[in-house]
């Protein structure tokens, strides 16, 4: 099934297979899935999707980078395997990823809307992302994010130095005590 960017709508009569496609896509992008999806007699089931790589300024690039999934390829190949024992594995461009990372990336790639599904617009974790995109502030967002990362690193270094100073002070006190003894 070749879906292009923008709004894609699946319609059809009852029993046409819409739910199969949506369930497969949901499972591929980190949704709950059990061994019941495996064909009888098979040891596992594999779902694979090929997505266009994000363009410059897309927050997904930062998410991929944070998880060591940078790619020079024009596509993201996501696969998920479900084994009969109920264990699953997920890969993005051949790299193993956790289910949590897969869900985060899936939320950035696809927005599935149905009668009982929640809209991403109602997800408060994404509100700042929407506002930054609306204001064309993704470059500034990345710059601020970079500076915040540096600040956190400096704070950690400062804490490490304070711990080292405390350890040195304790060691000096011990040496003084031993010297007096």
Predicted confidence at residue 171, as pLDDT, reads 94
What CA–CA distances, in Å, run from 63 to 75, 110, 162? Answer: 16, 15, 32
CA distance linking residue 89 with residue 82, whole number of Å: 7
Q: How confident is the model at residue 125 (pLDDT cuts 50, 70, 90)?
A: confident
Predicted confidence at residue 180, as pLDDT, reads 92
Query: 1-29: buried (b, 16+ CB within 10 Å) or exposed (e) per residue?
Result: eeeeeeeeeeeeeeeeeeeeeeebbbbbb
Nearest to 88 by CA among 40, 30, 42: 30
Q: How confident is the model at residue 52 (pLDDT cuts 50, 70, 90)?
A: confident
Residue 16, both tokens: 């046409």
Give yes or no for a contact between 53 and 74, defined as CB atoms under 8 angstroms apart: yes
Q: How confident is the model at residue 174 (pLDDT cuts 50, 70, 90)?
A: very high
In the predicted model, is pLDDT for residue 55 greater than 80?
no
Residue 81, both tokens: 């395997």
* Higher per-residue confidence, 126 vs 159: 159
Calculate the average pLDDT of the chain: 85
């Amino acid at each position: 099934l070749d879906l292009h960017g923008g709004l894609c709508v699946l319609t059809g009569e009852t029993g046409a297979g819409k739910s199969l496609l949506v369930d497969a896509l949901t499972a591929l992008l980190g949704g709950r899935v059990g061994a019941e999806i495996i064909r009888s007699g098979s040891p596992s089931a594999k779902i694979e999707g090929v997505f266009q790589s994000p363009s410059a300024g897309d927050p997904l690039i930062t998410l991929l980078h944070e998880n060591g999934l940078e790619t020079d390829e024009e596509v993201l190949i996501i696969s998920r395997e479900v084994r009969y024992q109920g264990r699953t594995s997920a890969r993005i461009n051949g790299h193993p990823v956790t289910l949590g990372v897969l869900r985060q990336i899936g939320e950035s790639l696809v927005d599935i809307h149905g009668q009982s599904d929640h809209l991403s617009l109602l997800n408060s974790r994404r509100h700042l992302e929407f506002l930054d995109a609306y204001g064309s502030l993704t470059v500034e967002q990345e710059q601020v994010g970079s500076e915040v990362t540096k600040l956190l690193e400096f704070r950690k270094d400062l804490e490490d130095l304070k711990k080292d100073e405390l350890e040195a002070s304790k060691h000096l006190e011990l040496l003084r005590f031993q010297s007096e003894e």
